[in-house]
Amino acid sequence: MDKEFSDALDRLLAFIQRSGWKGYDPYDALNSLPLLKLPNKWLRVAPTVFFRLSPLNLRRMFLVKKGINPKAMGLLLSAYSLCHHMGAVPNLDKARRIFHWLCRNASPGYSGLGWGYNFPWQSRDRLLAGGIPTIVNTSFVGHGILDYYDRSGNPRALEAARSACDFILKDLNIRETDEGICFSYSPVESHLVHNANALGASLLARVSSYTREAELAEWAKRSFDFTIHHQRENGLWAYSIYPDTGHVRTQTDWHQGFIMDSLMWFIPCAGPSEEKARKALEAGAAFYKTQFTGEGMGYWRLPKKWPADIHNQAQGIITFAKLEEFFPGSLPTARRIARWTMDNLWNQKKGYFYYQKWPLYTNRIAYFRWAQAWMFLALATLLAHSSPSPASQKAPSQTP
C-alpha cells in the first residue's frame, strides 16, 4: 500500500511542478472584477457559492485567472520539507525557493510577517479583501517555515517564523475572558473562531520552543486555555462564537482536525498544561473518528454526509497519521481514509485529485490549494509516519 501512496505522491509532485504553483480556488470568484463590483454582499456571495458548487469551471468566462495562494505555498513548504526528511534531497531546493517567495509576498504594513488569500472573499459576515492577513494562513505558513528550518538550519527561517508571532500578538484583536484569550481571525474582525485561535497559539508555542521566550509560551497557554475550556463533553468543538450576541456556530468538519494538530504542536512545550492538553486531544480524537465512515469517507459536515470533500479527506489523513505518535493504533485510520480517497477522488492518469464526490456525480475540477496542496501534505505526512526516515532529523546547514 505504501508503494501506491508513494507513486501517487510522485505523480502529484509532477502535476504541481507543471502548474508553476498556480491554480484556481473554490472561493476565488471575486478575482473577477465585474463580480467584485456587484453592489451588495448577497450578490457577491451568489457567484462565490455558484463557482464552489458547479462541476463546470466557468472562471475563464468571468475573467478569473489562476493565481499563487500563500496558504498553498505554506502547505507545499511543509510537504517538501517532509519529503527531504524522508531522503528526497532535491526537494530542499524547492522548499528554499518557496520560503523566499513567501518572505517576498507577505502582506505589507503589519507589525510582523502575515499572509492572506490571493482573492477577496465574501461570506455572510464580511468582505475580506485579498491580501489581508489571517491567523489561519499565517499559522500554516509559519509552521511550514519552521518545518523548512528543521531541515535546512537557515537562520532566516526562524527569524521569519518569529516575525509571524509579532503579527499575531500586535495586529490581531485579542479577546480577554475568564477562561483565557482568543485571537481574532484577521485584524478587521472580532468574533471568536476556535480553530483559528488554536492554530495561532500553536505557532506561538512552537516558536517559543526554539527561542525560549517565556512570554510566547504564556500567550500560547492562555489561548489554549480558552479553546480547551470550550470543548464539549463528547470532544466536539463548535466553529465560532459571536461575542456581541453569544451565538455559537457549530460546523463540524476539517476544522476539528486543525485544533487537534494545534494541540499536537503545543503538547511538547506545554509544561504544566500538558496533561490537560492531552486529555483534550484524546477526547477530540475519539470524536473526530466519528466524522468518517468505516470505509474512510469523511462526512461533509456532521451529520450531513455528502459531498465527500478532498479537504476533509486530506485533513483526516494528516491528523490520524500524526496521532499515531500520541495514541498508537491511529495510523490504520489514516490509511483507510487515504485508501478511500485514492479509490474515489484520484485521477491516476493526470496525477491530480478531484474536488468533491456526490452520490450521482464527481466534481473533477483540479483546485490547487484545496486539493493538490493539501493532498501533497497529506501523503507526505502519511508516508513520513509509516516508516523510519533515512534522513537526519535536522540539518546543520546555515545556507540562506
The answer to whether residue 18 is domain-embedded is: no
Q: Do residues 317 and 341 touch, judged by C-beta distance below 8 A?
A: yes
pLDDT (0 to 100) of residue 400: 38
The answer to whether residue 282 is domain-embedded is: no
The answer to whether residue 47 is domain-embedded is: yes
pLDDT digits (tens, 9 = 90+) for 338-368: 999 999 999 999 999 999 999 999 999 999 9
Dist. CA 27–CA 119, nearest whole Å: 8
The answer to whether residue 121 is domain-embedded is: no
The answer to whether residue 133 is domain-embedded is: no
Dist. CA 86–CA 389, nearest whole Å: 5
Burial of 62 (0-12, 13-18, 19+ CB in 10 A): middle
pLDDT digits (tens, 9 = 90+) for 156-178: 999 999 999 999 999 999 999 99
Domain tally for the chain? 1
Q: Report residue 398's pLDDT band, with 50, 70 and 90 as the boundaries.
A: very low
pLDDT digits (tens, 9 = 90+) for 223-239: 999 999 999 999 999 99
Dist. CA 342–CA 310, nearest whole Å: 10
Domain extent for 47: 29-66
pLDDT (0 to 100) of residue 39: 85
Task: Note the pTM of the prediction, 2 decimals.
Answer: 0.94
Residue 250 burial (CB count, 10 A): 12
The answer to whether residue 141 is domain-embedded is: no
The answer to whether residue 6 is domain-embedded is: no
pLDDT digits (tens, 9 = 90+) for 56-111: 999 999 999 999 999 999 999 999 999 876 766 567 889 999 999 999 999 999 99
The answer to whether residue 58 is domain-embedded is: yes
Alpha helices in the chain (DSSP H): 2-19, 33-36, 41-53, 70-85, 91-104, 135-152, 155-171, 194-211, 214-229, 255-266, 274-289, 310-323, 331-345, 374-386
